[in-house]
Amino acid sequence: MTAADIDNSDRGFVPPYAPQLTGKEGFIRATWKFMRNPLEGFGPLAWKQPIVSVPTFGFKTHTVCDPEGMMQVLATESHKFTKSPVDARILGPATKEGLLSVHGAQWKRQRRGVAPMFRPRHMAELAATITDVIHDFTHILDRRREIDLNLTMADLTFEVLSRTLLGDPQGVDGRRLRRATRKAVTAAGTLRPDDLLPLPGWVPRPVPPGGMVALRTLKRSADILLGRRDEDAPGDDLVGLLISARDPQTGEPLTQRERRDNLIGFFIAGHETTALTLTWAIYLLAMCPDVAGRVRREVLNVAGRGDVEFDHLNDLIFTQAVLDETMRLYPPAPMINRKCREATVLLERNIEPDDHIILNYYIMHRAPRLWDRPGVFDPDRFVHMPELKARGSAFMPFGAGPRICIGAAFATMEAKMVLATLVRDYDIFVPPNCYPRPVMTVTLRPQGKIPTQLKKV
């Protein structure tokens, strides 16, 4: 099926989706499908029910596709669950001692340490730097006939990350670092048969050779960035905050390993997710020129022809709705895992210690029992129903509870500034037969390239 085959006249555009299992596949075929693309590894029950439980090697795996269950695991009973050993094995080689992986008091100390970077009043300052990056980036775009949309957005968001959060990354080759980050995530995030076994987090998970080189690049770059700072006056960007963070009780600083693993965690978590949101949003707008026209008119009304600035962002209501609808259809982090550590009852199921929980945002965001016309790209649903974004709703691209994405406000600001500027200043063309299937390797990526032309208006 291609975009041209889809009737987008009355019902609206149905963008690419991951086909679900029919329920008639045997165990081996279903497992193979799950390993190849986890988005395609769930059958009709997961799409119909709030929770599906299956026995897996001596414990149970519960897939939760429902806001009430998600809130219980992530927020109200978050103390009864912990990050899963699967995540520990996948993320461990890159960022074992960083915020993405640690627990308890260590997590609290690290989260407190970096929180000032993401405070609302800091956002306006960071927005000015994002504007500079967008200027430089559009000069490069103007010289290119065609771009690979996903890679170009990744270059852009990595540049934003470097200049806003990492200070002046001199001595580190940004492009090389970005490529190494992608390679490390791809190598680590591709599922293997042993990932389905109940192995504890400390069992090493061999990384393929290309991934090892990428990991070495990440570690060396993080060491260079940290090593160039003065311990007594480290600065107030993310690198500086990691150096000055202290335990409120003991006054102990983070260890060198914690500092490095956190920086690598931010390379991983802080750019590809936003790049993917922009990639899918631009793709959807290229396929729906009438919607792109509405975004352009809104941006012209709010910001005129000048820079899209921090003060404009709250008034870009339809542009925000396009981003929300994009993250509903393509949540950049489509599933996250937890392990149960204290027995509880979840959506009327008994959950035992060591049971595995998959929080499946991809299915929750598209479940017919929760959404009207779930497969259709319809940003207006977020304009007309602001309750879709209330706490505990079925829309949770940034997670929930204490471990909710720390970069959510930053990512939203960045994506809105970039999308608003590009859609106002360029006509976007993607071949009509481009219909890239969503695939999951930790993040939700389009399969293959999205060749894109941006023509200055």
- Positions touching ligand HEM (CB under 6 A) are 99-100, 111, 165, 265-266, 269-270, 273-274, 277, 332-333, 336, 397-399, 403, 405-407, 410-411
Q: Smallest distance, Å, CB 306 to ligand HEM?
A: 25
Handedness of CA 258, 360, 325, 90 (dihedral sign): positive
The structure tokens listed for 301 are 């009304």
Of 154 and 269, which CB lies nearer to ligand HEM in the complex structure? Answer: 269
Encoded amino acid at 112, one letter: R
DSSP bridge pairs for 445: 439
- Tell me whether strands 443-446 and 438-441 are parallel, antiparallel or unpaired: antiparallel
Distance CA 186, CA 350 (A): 35
How far is the C-alpha of 337 from the C-alpha of 101, rounded, in Å? 12
* C-alpha distances out from residue 397 to 108, 115, 360, 393, 408, Å: 22, 20, 11, 11, 9
Q: Please, which residues bridge with residue 56 across strands?
A: 59
Nearer to ligand HEM, 21 or 114 (CB): 114
- What is the smallest separation between the CB atom of 441 and ligand HEM, expressed in angstroms? 15
Q: Give SS3 for 441.
A: strand
- Give me the residue whose beta carbon is nearest to ligand HEM: 407
Length of the chain: 457
Query: Helix (H) and strand (E) counts for the chain?
Result: 17, 12
Q: Which residues partner with 262 through β-bridges?
A: none
Beta carbon nearer to ligand HEM, 6 or 320: 320
Nearest to ligand HEM of 377, 410 (CB atom): 410
What is the distance between the alpha carbons of residues 379 and 389, in angstroms, rounded to a whole number?
13
Find out whether 95 and 268 touch, Cβ atoms under 8 Å.
Answer: yes
**Which of residues 100 and 180 has its CB atom nearest to ligand HEM in the complex?**
100
Q: CB of 415: closest distance to ligand HEM in angstroms?
A: 6
CB of 405 to ligand HEM, least distance (A): 3
CA distances from 393 to 337, 362, 400 (A): 19, 14, 10
Sheet holding 51-56, edge to edge: 51-56, 59-64, 356-360, 335-340, 81-83
The nearer residue to ligand HEM, 90 or 295, going by C-beta atoms, is 90
Q: What is the distance between the alpha carbons of residues 447 and 414, in angstroms, rounded to a whole number?
A: 24
- The DSSP secondary-structure symbol of 366 reads T
From 195, 165, 412, select the one nearest 265 (Cα to Cα).
165
- Give min distance, CB of 359 to ligand HEM, in A: 8
CA distance 438 to 445: 6
Residue placing its CB nearer to ligand HEM in the complex, 270 or 446 = 270
Cβ 183 to ligand HEM shortest distance, Å: 19
State in angstroms the smallest separation of the CB of 121 from ligand HEM.
17
Can you tell me whether residue 176 is helix, strand or coil?
helix
Residue type, 453: Q
Nearer to ligand HEM, 33 or 338 (CB): 338
Beta strand pairing call for 59-64 and 356-360 = parallel
What is the CA 243 to chain-centroid distance, rounded?
26
- Residue 110 Cβ, how far from ligand HEM at the closest point, in Å? 8
Tokens 């978050």, residue located: 78
Smallest distance, ligand HEM to C-beta of residue 53, A: 21
CB 127, min distance to ligand HEM, A: 14
Of 91 and 147, CB closest to ligand HEM: 91
Closer to ligand HEM by Cβ: residue 14 or 73: 73
**Smaller CB separation from ligand HEM, 33 or 277:** 277
Smallest gap from Cβ 439 to ligand HEM, in A, equals 16
